[in-house]
Structure 1
Amino acid sequence: MGITGLNHITLAVSDLARSVAFYTDVLGAVQRTASARSAYLELGPIWLCLEATDALTPRADDTHIAFSCAPAEFARLTEHISAHAPLWKENRSEGASLYFLDPDGHKLELHLGDLASRLAHYRDHPEKGVQVLP
């Protein structure tokens, strides 16, 4: 048997309390554990671990984590997040997206859509040069 899903995501953070506040207050995460060096948060089905570090290395590429929300919540969340986080990229993909940074510069995205909608988009737009495989 192969991989069955995403287990958890760990992000290194420079100020644990500040990051916990961002993820709980701005993104609505529920804090599940607390220690001097880490915190476990729950964001819908996602288990997110924030781990304090003294050696944070920001990435210069487009590597990021994309979160989903209900379509009816997208506008409200976009407005709320935009008021509390800097944006790092304009949306150029299928579906509505907001690209924002957490306090340590981790690149995040709020995205409407799923893999099925992305594949349908590429099927409908062969000029984009993406081959959808069976």
Structure 2
Amino acid sequence: MLNGLNHITIAVNDVSRSFTFYSKTLGFTPKARWSRGAYLFLGNLWLCLSADSVDTREDYTHYAFSIRSEDFDEFVNHLKSSGVTEWKTNQSEGKSFYFLDPDGHKLEVHVGDLNSRLNACIQHPYENMQFF
């Protein structure tokens, strides 16, 4: 039986550039690095950067990171001053900022969790939404 998310691996064009972005800009803790990849850690998330040809898609797939409400504005200002590209404007519950990493991977910082999202959806459900 599955018991949780193990790790996320993302393809990167330049390991050094992405390593710097994820460790210095986003605050991941470096754990290991080699010529074609790196392992980083954030909270309980194990992130692997893997040198490969990157093919970003035009869908809504993205990776969201949690942030405390009191840290949100300062961190978003930090991201903007670092030159990140915003790819979407938030239209859902909770504060969110959607931005791209150096390879165009879609990322988000979000205040809230599944419970706060479900509570908002109870008040304003999506089309044909069912709760379990």
The residue number in structure 1 matching 2:121 is: 122
- CA contact under 8 A between 1:122 and 1:132: conserved in structure 2? no
The one-letter amino acid paired with 1:68 is S
Total equivalences in the alignment: 131
Percent sequence identity over matched residues? 47
The one-letter amino acid paired with 1:115 is L
State the Cα RMSD in Å: 1.2
Question: Over residues 24-77 of structure 1, what are the superposed CA-to-partner deviations in whole Å (9 max), with x where a residue is unaligned?
Answer: 111001110011111000112110000011x21111111100000122211111
CA displacement at 1:3 relative to structure 2:
2.0
CA displacement at 1:130 relative to structure 2:
5.0
- The partner residue of 2:61 within 60, 63, 82 is 63
Structure 1 alignment gaps of length 5 or more: none
Structure 1 residues 65 and 130: alpha-carbon distance in aligned structure 2, compared to 1, 3 A threshold: farther
CA distance in 2, matches of 1:121, 1:130: 15
CA distance in 2, matches of 1:130, 1:26: 39
Q: Which secondary structure state, in structure 2, belongs to the residue aligned with residue 66 of structure 1?
A: strand
- 1:36 and 2:35 equivalent? yes
The one-letter amino acid paired with 1:108 is L
